[in-house]
Amino acid sequence: GVQRPPLLTDDQELVREFLLESTQNLSDFESEMVALERTPEDAQLLGSIFRRIHTVKGTCGFFGFGRLEKISHSAENILSQIRAGEK
């Protein structure tokens, strides 16, 4: 017969959702960074980029993904410095 994949546990389902959401956030992040290169004065765009990274950082913290949390925290700090320099 046909073998079915095992059902995902709740934790596995949460991680799958995290991966899907993070992949989309990082794809959008990449597009927004390219746009920011063209219009570096766009504070709204910079805010959107910051929120994406902040979301990834928070979710990594929730799951205990320490390395990814540190990387996203570093990116968030850099974006905060850029935002502060615009004011």
pLDDT digits (tens, 9 = 90+) for 54-87: 999 999 998 899 999 999 999 999 999 998 885 4
Q: Please tell me the distance from the alpha carbon of residue 76 to that of residue 53, in angstroms, as a whole number.
A: 6
When pLDDT is cut at 50, 70 and 90, the band that residue 17 belongs to is very high
Q: Please tell me the distance from the alpha carbon of residue 41 to that of residue 39, in angstroms, as a whole number.
A: 5
pTM of the complete model: 0.78
In one letter, which amino acid is 54? Answer: H
Decide: residue 64, CB within 10 A, 0-12 exposed, 13-18 middle, 19+ buried. Answer: exposed
Neighbours of 60 (CB within 10 A): 20
